Structure formats: C-alpha cells, structure tokens
A and B are shown apart, each in its own frame.
Chain A
Amino acid sequence: MASQLVMYEEEFHRINGVCDRLTKDANAKVVFLVDKNGQLISAAGQTHNIDTTSLASLTAGNVAAMGGLAKLIGENEFPNQFHEGAKDSLYMTLVGGRVVLVVIFDNRTSLGLVRLRIKKATEELEKIFAALAARSAAPGAGSPFAEISDADIDNLFSE
C-alpha cells in the first residue's frame, strides 16, 4: 500500500511561503497545492469565495483522468495543463509526481509569466516534498494515532 502523506509544521510553512510568493510573483489570483488523491495542502491568494475542498477533489479527478488518457496514447503523464476561460484561466502542474500545483489567473498577467514563475516554484516544492518523504520514512516517525484507544474512536460516534 502506498505510504500516507504526513505534513509537519516546518515543511508546511515553507510550502505556504512558496505558494504566497508564487501568487505575488506571477500576479495570480489564487494558488493551490493539492495532493493527487484530492486533499488540499495549501492555498494562497483570494481564496475567500472559492470552495477549496471541492476544488481540490475536482483537480485530483481531472489530473487522474488526464493521466489515464496519457497512458492510453503511450505517454506517461501530462505534467502541465492549461484551461483558458473568458475571464479566469487555470494552469495545473504536477510536482514530483505526487502533488498538483494549481494557479488561477486573469488578464492582469500573462500565460508566459505564470509558466515562468511556476517553473521556479516547482523546483522549490520538489525539494520540500523530497525532504518530507525522507522525514516520514525515517525510523521513529510512527503514526500519531498509535496512542489512541478504541474508546477514543467510539467517543467520536457516541452522539
């Protein structure tokens, strides 16, 4: 079974920092980082009127479907996707084969600038996720739930 994704304080702040900076540098509206299984990891920019949970799940569905299509035509993956809307556009990039970087932008910036900034951010994120993977795999990084009791679980469903 694939290993679970564990996020620690230090890496979480570094990831949020990269997403914040990308939002500013690319002049984007919103930047999201989503696990390939549909879990939202980080969000930066004007996120207040966006349903981030739904966005994360649909991003994962879309990337999974496009990955399936890629394999059908003999490609391994489509690492970049661009969807152009009337006002807002969306760019998705696979990072380290594990997470998806989503940038939403409008005509205050350009596709060229967005792509350029994404490239830099992707390199930084890849390093952070490699460090995370190493940390999770290190001995002693047991499940934080090893301590919970059956009673704890029962309490969750007691009402």
Chain B
Amino acid sequence: MSFINYSSREINCKIVYYGPGLCGKTTNLQYIYNKTNPETKGKLISLSTETDRTLFFDFLPLSLGEIRGFKTRFHLYTVPGQVFYDASRKLILKGVDGVVFVADSQVERMEANIESMENLRVNLQDQGYDLNKIPFVVQYNKRDLPNAVSEDELRKVLNPRKVPDYPAVAPTGVGVFDTLKSVAKLVLTELKKGGA
C-alpha cells in the first residue's frame, strides 16, 4: 500500500524480499546498499541474531528519482527466512506493494524453496493480497554454485505464472539490480493503474 503525499510531493512504496532461510535476501539488500550513492539511500537496518541470521527484518530506504515532480521512494524489507519465524513474516507483508522471491538454486534447497513459496502465498492471502495479482518477481540466486539446478527446472517449479525472473549471484551483484528495477517498475505500473 503506497503512501502518496501531495504536500511534500512524495510517493513511498514497500517492497518485500521473501524466500527460504539463507537464500540471500539480506545479501541482496547489502549489495544494493553498498553500490548506491549516499544521497539516494538511508541507513540499512538489520534486526538479526548474534549469528547474523535475520531475526525480524532488514530495512533499506532508497530514492529512485522523480516522476512528474513526485519523488519516488522505495522501502526495501527482507523477512526472516527460517521456518519458525512465520508470525514475523506475516507482519512484514502488511502494506506491501511488490514482492521479490529469492530462490536458492542449490538442488538440496528445492523443497525449502517450494515450501517458502507456498508460505508466501498463504501469508499474502491472510493480509488480503493475491500472489497472482501483486507485482511479483523471482530471482534464482546462487547460480555460481556447482550444485545449482538448471534455470529451466527452477522456472518450471517456482514460476509457472512466468513473471519476470533473473539469475543471480547476490554477493557479487549479478542480477541484483535487474531484480530490483524489475519489481520497482511493476509497482509503478500498478500505481499508474491506480490499483495499489
């Protein structure tokens, strides 16, 4: 749910990175944070455990520039991927405008990917959203690992709707900005329709 402020001429949108534990959601945000100009980004907040696992969420505010005199601001959030943090995941989806699903390409994580995708669908439904309608992008992360499943196979299982999808290696930035731009574009297009 975007926030449009006519007075300060700003539009704020919320994008959530979803996916199974250790798939690279936080790494996506860290790469974006490291590679953007200081004037276009705010502080990266990570609420994590002592072992650097996301406990509640990561948060990164980004400015993307102006459209027709309105400053566009995107608030990027990640959810905690570990299965038992489901109550927290549900909360973070509140008011979401667009979702990125980060899949772990490793063959042994296929089941976790499928479970997380199903969990996303259910949790979105609980908040009154439909995964088939919301701006949605899939990222196949960890493409550099030797045990990665082929993109075609991942696509078949995780992206039957054929939404935009991108291969990625988040620590080196491959696919990270393509994914972000794609979801941001979908969110703005949805706003244009007036449906957000």
A118 to chain B, nearest CB (A): 23
Q: Does A134 contact B (CB under 8 A)?
A: no
Interface range on chain B (Cβ under 8 Å from partner): 35 or more
Q: Does A86 contact B (CB under 8 A)?
A: no
- Contact call B87/A68, Cβ cutoff below 8 A: yes
Which candidate, A18-26, A51-59, A73-81, A104-112, is the interface stretch facing chain B? Answer: A51-59
Residues of chain B in range 15-44 having any CB-CB distance to chain A below 8 Å: 42-43
Partner of B7, one of A9, A53, A67: A9
- Contact call A39/B185, Cβ cutoff below 8 A: no
- Contact call B94/A57, Cβ cutoff below 8 A: no
- Contact call A65/B7, Cβ cutoff below 8 A: no
A93 to chain B, nearest CB (A): 19
Q: Does B59 contact A (CB under 8 A)?
A: yes
Give the chain B neighbours of A67 by CB distance below 8 A: 91
Give the chain A neighbours of B90 by CB distance below 8 A: 68
The answer to whether A12 and B181 touch (CB under 8 A), given A145-B194, A156-B72, is no
- Contact call A12/B5, Cβ cutoff below 8 A: yes
Give the chain A neighbours of B48 by CB distance below 8 A: none
A117 to chain B, nearest CB (A): 25
The answer to whether A6 and B188 touch (CB under 8 A), given A58-B45, A147-B68, A152-B68, is no
The docked-state distance in angstroms from the alpha carbon of A8 to that of B2 is 14
Question: Which residue from chain A places its CB closest to the CB of B133 in the assembled complex?
Answer: A1
- Contact call B188/A145, Cβ cutoff below 8 A: yes
Interface string of B57-77 (1 = CB under 8 A from A): 101010011011010100100
Q: Does B6 contact A (CB under 8 A)?
A: yes
Q: Does B191 contact A (CB under 8 A)?
A: yes
The docked-state distance in angstroms from the alpha carbon of A64 to that of B8 is 26
Q: Does A143 contact B (CB under 8 A)?
A: yes
- Contact call B3/A7, Cβ cutoff below 8 A: yes
- Contact call B61/A12, Cβ cutoff below 8 A: no
Interface string of A112-138 (1 = CB under 8 A from B): 000000000000000000000000000
Q: Does A85 contact B (CB under 8 A)?
A: no
Give the chain B neighbours of A152 by CB distance below 8 A: 67-68
- Contact call B43/A54, Cβ cutoff below 8 A: yes
The docked-state distance in angstroms from the alpha carbon of A137 to that of B11 is 18
Give the chain B neighbours of A3 by CB distance below 8 A: 1
- Contact call B1/A5, Cβ cutoff below 8 A: yes
The docked-state distance in angstroms from the alpha carbon of A54 to that of B4 is 19
Interface string of A1-40 (1 = CB under 8 A from B): 1111111110011000000000000000000000111110
Q: List 9 A-B contacts (CB under 8 A).
A: A1-B128, A2-B95, A12-B5, A64-B92, A67-B91, A143-B196, A144-B4, A145-B191, A156-B188
Binding site for A on B (CB under 8 A): 1-8, 11-12, 14, 42-43, 45, 47, 56-57, 59, 61, 64-65, 67-68, 70, 72, 75, 87-88, 90-92, 94-95, 128-129, 181, 184-185, 188-189, 191-196
